[in-house]
Chain A
Amino acid sequence: MIREKVRVKSFKINGIDVTGASNQTILEVAQDNNIEIPTLCYLKGLSCVGSCRMCIVEIKGSNQLIPACTAKIKEGMEVTTDSPRIKTNREMILSMLFSERTHTCSVCVSNGNCELQNKAHELHLDHIQVPYHNARFEIDASHKNFVNDPNRCILCTRCIRVCDEIEGAHALDIMDRGIDTRIIHDMDEPWAQSLSCTSCGKCVYVCPTGALYEKDISDEEADKKRSIIMELLERKAQQ
C-alpha cells in the first residue's frame, strides 16, 4: 500500500498562525492549539461523518460554512471559528435538532448528563426558533439491559460507528430518510432479537443524549462503564 506523504502545513485559525499535518482536520488542529469549536457527533477515536454540523467554520474565499471535523487543512487557509453568521447557523442547527424529536429534559434519563442539553447551555439557547415536530417513535425496550428511544435520537451515528469500528459487530445501522430516519438493529428487528449485537453496551455509552440507555444501573456504575469505553476510544485515536 502506498501511503500519501504527510507534510506539515501552516495556516491561520482566528488570525493565529498554526501548523498541522496534512492528514489532520481543521478540528484536530484547533484542538491541538486549544481553540474551541463546538461538536456533537464528533467523538475522538471514531471516524468523522460531519452529520450534526455543529462544528461549522468559515474559510476565507469560500461562501460555504464547512464542518471542521471533516475538512482537511490546506496551506495558507484562513479559518474563522466564531462569527455572527456562524453563531446564527449553529443556533438554527441546534433548534432543528430539538424540534425534530421529543427532547423533554425534565423527564429524561440523561437530564444533567446530556451533550445536547449542554450544547444548548453553551450557546445560550433558551428557546427554539422552529416549531416542534412532535414525532412519536416506538420505544424498543426488548433488550434485557438496554433501551432504544428514537424520540431522543439526534442521528449523530456515534452508536453505529462505535459498533462497527471498535466492537466490529456492525449490529446497528440507519433506516429511512429525512425526519423519519432512525437507528435500527440488523434488519430492523427488536434489539433482543438482533443476532449480531454482542450486548457490549458501547453504543449506549457513546450516545450523547438519552436515546440509548442502560436499565437498572446507578450513576456511578454508568460513569465507570463510560470511562472504560472512552479509554478504548482514546487508545484507538493514538494508533
Chain B
Amino acid sequence: MKKIIIDPVTRIEGHAKITIDVDANNRISDAKIHVTQFRGFEKFCEGQIYSQMPALTARTCGICPVSHAISSIKACDILLGVTPPQAGINLRKIINLAQILQSHTLSFFHLSSPDFIYGFDAKKEDRNIFKMMQTHPQMAKDGIMLRAFGQKVIQTLGGKRIHPDGLVPGGVEQNLDTQTKNTLLLEIPNAIKIAEETLIFFKNNLAKFEKEIDSFGVFPSLFMALVDENGNLEHYDGKLKIIDSEGNVLQENISPQHYKEFIGEAVEAESYLKSPYYKPFGYPQGMYRVGALARLNIAKACGTPKADKELLAFKALNAGKPVLNSFYYHYARLIEMLYALEKIELLLKDETTMGEALHRTSKILKTQAVGCSEAPRGTLFHDYEVDTNGIIQKVNLIIATGNNNLAMNAGLKQVAQTFINAEDVSEGALNRVEALIRCFDPCLSCSTHALGIVSSNIELKDHNKNIIQIFKRN
C-alpha cells in the first residue's frame, strides 16, 4: 500500500525521479524512472541555419558534446553532399574516441567506483569520490588523469575541451601537426596502463557483487549498435545491426538514413524521455539496449590487440551469447576505454591523419539527412530536414540514453523486487536502485533536454497510486 520516491537519483548525469509501486500485499508491483523536465532542442532549432546545428546541439550536453557535434556534422555532410578528406575523418574518429574515453572514465571512477570500493551498503557519506581520494588516492588520481587525457585530446584537436568548435561540416578545422601528434602519443602508454589496471581491479572485485550481477537488469532484450564492414566495433561510422538476446541477427547492414523503418518512438505520460522501440516487435515488446554492453555483444571483434583479448573474456561470460546482465555495462565500458586508447594510438600513427582535414562547401544538395554515431551511452541519431537555403524545418533527435529507457524501467523493477522490503526500506536497497540506473550511465539532461532545478526522487506509492513516502536527496 505504498509508493517509494527517490529524489534525486544521485551520481548520474542529469535529473530524474524513481517511483516504486507497492501492492496491497507489500510486494513491489512496478518501478519507473521519470524524467520530468524538458529542454526543447527539437523545437527551437527550427528556423536556424544548418551550419549552426553542430554548435547548437553540442550544447545539449556538457559530458558528451562531441558525440552530438559528430552526429550533427555527419548529417550536415550529407546535406552538403561532401565527403571529408581522410585526415578529417580520422581526426573526427580520434576526437570521438577521446570523448568516449573521458565519459566512460567519469562514469566509472567519479560516479560508480565508490560502490565497488565500499560496497552498496556503505554509509552514504562515504560513497563518493572525495572519500576515495582519502582511502584510494592513487585510483582517484588515475581516474582524474585518464579523464584529463581524453579532454586534452579533444582540446588539442577540436579547439576546446568542452563544446569543441573545430568539428565542422566537411571535416575538422585544424590539421594535425607532427609536434601535436608526438605530444599526445607520449601520454598513451601510461593511460593504457591505467586502463588495464582498472580492468584488473574490476574483475578482482566481481566476486563481491554476485547478487547484484544476477539481479541488476538481467533480462532478455534486443541489442542495437553500429558495426563496421567486418562486423567489428565502430563508433564513428558504419551500419546499424540489431540482434536478439540469443545472438540471432534480426537486422544488419541498415543504413542509419533508414532508422525510422526500424525504430518507433513511444511517449509515456509521466516522463519527457522518449521510449524508442524496435518497430517490427511493437511497443513495448521491442525493447532494446544500446551502449557499451550492446556494442560488445554485437561486435565480432574490437580490432585492437589488448581490447580483443579482453573481449574474448567478456564474451565467455555467457558462453559466447549476448551478455544480458546490465551490471556488466561497467565491464564493457572499461574494455571500451582500453580500445579507445589503442585505437587513438593507431589513428595518430596513421600517415593519412596528417593531411588536409577540411573540404569547404556550403551548397545544399539534399534537404533531409540523418547523422548517426555511437555516443558513450549508445547510438545517437540527428535527423534534420532543411529547405533549399539550409534553414532547418524539422529536427528529430534520438539520444543514446533514450534508447535504453524501456530497459532501464525493466531493470528498475527487477532490482526493486530483489532488494526492497516495502515494510522497511533500507538505505542500501535504495542505493542499489540508483546503482541500477548508474549501470546504464544515463545522461538525462541530454536525452530529455531537461532544464533541471531539482534533481530526482524515489516515490513509494500504494495500489491506489497514493504516495506513501518520498525519498528526497538534498
Complex Cα distance, B170 from A218, in Å, reads 12
Given A141-B390, A218-B360, are A107 and B56 neighbors across the interface (CB < 8 Å)? yes
Tell me whether A142 and B59 are in contact (CB under 8 A).
Answer: no
Name the contact of B391 in the complex, choosing from A106, A141, A217 (C-beta under 8 A).
A141
Cα(A138)–Cα(B52), bound, Å: 14
Contact B360 A217 (CB under 8 A): yes
CB distance from B361 to the nearest CB of A (A): 6
Contacts of A144 on B, CB cut-off 8 Å? 363
Known: A107-B55, A138-B47, A149-B49. A216 touches B362 (CB 8 A): yes
State whether B59 touches A107 (Cβ < 8 A). Answer: yes
Instruction: Return A8 CB to nearest CB of chain B, in Å.
Output: 51
Q: Is the interface of A mostly helix, strand, loop or mixed?
A: loop
A6 to B421 alpha-carbon distance, docked (Å): 95
For the complex, what is the distance from the CA of A90 to the CA of B351, rounded to whole Å?
54
**A147/B55 in contact, CB under 8 A:** no
| Mask of B41-75 contacts with A, CB within 8 angstroms, 1/0 | 00000011101100110010000000000000000
Q: Does B93 contact A (CB under 8 A)?
A: no
**In the complex, are the beta carbons of A141 and B55 less than 8 A apart?**
no
Of B362, B363, B390, most buried by chain A (CB within 10 Å of CB) is: B362
Are the CB atoms of A139 and B48 closer together than 8 Å? yes
Q: Could you tell me the distance in whole angstroms from the C-beta of A133 to the nearest C-beta in chain B?
A: 15
CA distance A139 to B47 in the complex (A): 7
Interface contact B47-A216, CB-CB below 8 Å: no
Please give me the residue from chain B that is nearest to A218 by CB atom: B360
Q: Is the CB of B362 within 8 A of A106?
A: no
Partner of B47, one of A136, A142, A147: A136
Q: How far is the CA of A141 from the CA of B391 in the complex (A)?
A: 7
Interface string of B389-400 (1 = CB under 8 A from A): 111000000000
* Alpha-carbon gap, A142 to B362, bound state (A): 12
Q: How far is A111 from B52 in the complex, measured between Cα atoms in Å? A: 12
- In contact, B360 and A141 (Cβ under 8 angstroms): no
CB-CB nearest in chain B for A140: B389
**Residues 337 to 394 of chain B near chain A (Cβ within 8 Å):** 360-363, 389-391
User: Shortest beta-carbon distance, B276 to chain A, in Å?
Assistant: 27
- Expressed in whole angstroms, the Cα–Cα distance for A147 and B389 within the complex equals 10
Task: Report the nearest A residue to B53, measured CB to CB.
Answer: A107
On chain A, the residues within 8 Å of B360 by CB distance are: 216-218
Nearest-neighbor residue (CB-CB) of B51 within chain A: A215
The answer for the CA separation of A111 and B55 in the assembled complex, in Å, is 11
Asked whether A215 lies within 8 Å of B47 as measured between CB atoms, the reply is no
* Known contacts A147-B49, A149-B49, A216-B362; is-contact A142 B55 (Cβ 8 Å): no
Q: Mark A146-159, 1 if CB is under 8 A from B, else 0.
A: 01010000000000
- Determine the distance from Cα of A216 to Cα of B391 in the docked complex, in whole angstroms: 15
Chain B residues closer than 8 Å to A216, beta-carbon distance: 360-362
Q: How far is the CB of A54 from chain B (nearest CB, A)?
A: 27
Residue of A nearest to B364 (CB): A141
**Cβ of B333 under 8 Å from chain A:** no
A217 to B52, CA, bound (A): 14
Per-residue B-contact encoding for A186-215, CB less than 8 Å = 1, 0 else: 000000000000000000000000000001
Other-chain contact of B49, A106, A136, A141, A217 (Cβ < 8 Å)? A141
Closest-CB distance, B42 to chain A (whole angstroms): 16
With CB as the reference atom, state the residue of chain A lying closest to B386.
A141
Query: Is the CB of B163 closer than 8 A to any CB of chain A?
Result: yes
**Please, how many angstroms separate the alpha-carbon atoms of A109 and B56 in the complex?**
11
Query: B163 touching A106 by the CB < 8 A rule?
Result: yes
Extra pairs beyond A139-B49, A149-B49 (12, CB < 8 Å): A106-B163, A107-B52, A107-B56, A109-B51, A136-B47, A139-B48, A141-B49, A147-B49, A215-B362, A216-B360, A216-B362, A218-B360
Can you spell out 11 A-B residue pairs with CB atoms less than 8 angstroms apart? A106-B55, A106-B59, A107-B56, A109-B51, A139-B49, A139-B391, A149-B49, A215-B362, A216-B360, A216-B362, A218-B360
